[in-house]
């Protein structure tokens, strides 16, 4: 059943990510994935395409952090049909020395085993206070 499979894909990708292995996470994103960061911060927009998400969002975000990595852990997964909702926390520090420990709820939509759409809900106030603007 797609629902159980979808959950497995997302859970395994996040589990690997928590161990610093980004490949499964990147691989689960469809080529034409759309990724939306909710709100009206400098980071709040919709990135279209896997390359754009990896470079313009993840790459830019990594460049803000002391370590060239994004540390995320997850607490819960909720799968329903084509959707998997995930609650998670960030454990990052900016180059300016500020803690960036955001709380997230991601809504992943999958089709044929790939994530085609992501909506990210997070503490936008924290984003605007702690992160610099992305360069593009």
Partner 1 sequence: MTTDQTRRDVLGVLATSALAPLLPIAGIHAQSTEDLKVREAAVGANAAIGDRDKNKELLRAAFEAVEKGDAALYWALLADDVTFSITGTTSWSRTFVGKTEVRDKLLVPLRNQLDGANRCSAKRFIGAGNVVVVEARGLNRTKAGQAYENRYCWVFGMEAGRVHSIKEYADTQLVRKVLSPPPI
Shortest distance, position 84 Cβ to partner 1, whole Å: 8
Q: Does 101 bind partner 1 (CB under 8 A)?
A: no
| Spatial separation of the C-alpha atoms in residues 109 and 114, rounded to whole Å | 8
Question: What string marks each residue from 44 to 83 as x (binds partner 1 by CB under 8 A) or -?
Answer: --------------------------------xxxxx--x
Shortest distance, position 18 Cβ to partner 1, whole Å: 20
Q: Does 40 bind partner 1 (CB under 8 A)?
A: yes
Q: Which residues lie near partner 1 (CB under 8 A)? A: 38-41, 76-80, 83-85, 87, 103-105, 107, 119, 121-128
């Amino acid at each position: 059943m797609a629902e159980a499979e979808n959950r497995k894909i997302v859970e395994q990708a996040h589990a690997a990510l928590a161990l610093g292995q980004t490949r499964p996470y990147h691989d689960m994103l469809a080529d034409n994935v759309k990724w939306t960061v909710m709100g009206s911060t400098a980071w709040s927009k919709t990135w279209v395409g896997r390359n754009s998400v990896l470079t313009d969002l993840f790459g830019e975000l990594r460049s803000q952090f002391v370590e060239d990595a994004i540390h995320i852990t997850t607490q819960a997964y909720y799968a329903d049909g084509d959707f998997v909702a995930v609650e998670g926390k960030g454990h990052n520090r900016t180059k300016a020395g500020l803690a960036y420990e955001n709380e997230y709820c991601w809504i992943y939509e999958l089709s044929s085993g790939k994530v085609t759409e992501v909506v990210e809900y997070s503490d936008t106030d924290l984003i605007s206070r702690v992160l610099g603007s992305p360069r593009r």
